[in-house]
Amino acid sequence: MIGKLWSWFWGPTARYGWGAIFIVGGIAGVIFWGGFNTFMEYTNTLEFCVSCHEMRDTVFPEYKKTVHFTNRTGVRVVCSDCHVPKDWTAKLVRKVQASNELYHKVVGTIDTPEKFEANRLALAQRVWASMEATDSRECRNCHSFEAMDFSLQARRPQDKHPEAMEAGKTCINCHQGIAHKLPAGYDDDD
């Protein structure tokens, strides 16, 4: 049996056999890639993000009260817009990091509102550190100092944005709590 198979691969019809293998392999690769990428995009939807009760019962109601959810222009920013990079490689890295969040879901680290609140400051600090390390990359997908007309802003941002730009600050240095309430124990010095 193995001898016949070996002969088939190396016999006169080998080019057809190998061609079929490459074609079938290519089709399987395209199907795998398409499925993988489709699932990656599905995990970026608002529906997916709030499908677990930890998010639906805690941060989602807070987010629904912000300008990122409802505003005069009708532009909605969803969870992944702030928490997942657009670049495919960085997105893949973030999805791998999210597997740690799945572990904590399984072991019940934040499975009640009380546990979530007890961990909120540590969770927020982790997100803020990540955003600072990437120069608020996800914020800058929509916001940039260069596109801002400071004269049209309220007095405080009109003063603070040029200072922040000159000091090399990034969005998250000043805008913690923009989409979620600030954690208990958070000390805002400004």
Q: Which two tokens stand for residue 16?
A: 């057809």
Q: Under CATH, what is the fold of the domain 45-174?
A: Multiheme cytochrome fold (1.10.3820)
Please report, in tens digits, the pLDDT of each residue of the chain (190 residues total). 777 766 666 666 655 677 778 888 999 999 999 999 999 999 999 999 999 888 888 899 999 999 999 999 899 999 999 999 999 999 999 999 888 888 888 898 888 889 999 999 999 999 999 999 999 999 999 998 899 999 999 999 999 999 999 999 999 999 998 889 898 888 766 5
Determine whether 138 is exposed, middle or buried from the number of CB atoms within 10 Å of its CB (0-12, 13-18, 19+).
Answer: buried
Q: Which two tokens stand for residue 164?
A: 């922040």
Q: What is the pLDDT of residue 164?
A: 92
> 183 with 124: CB under 8 angstroms?
yes
- Give the number of other CB atoms < 10 A from CB of residue 27: 10
Q: What is the pLDDT of residue 104?
A: 85
Q: Which of 56, 154, 168 is nearest to 113 (CA)?
A: 56
Q: What is the pLDDT of residue 188?
A: 67
Q: What is the pLDDT of residue 6?
A: 66
Q: Which amino acid is at 136?
A: S
Say which DSSP state 146 is in. Answer: G
Q: Which of 44, 56, 123 is nearest to 88 (CA)?
A: 44
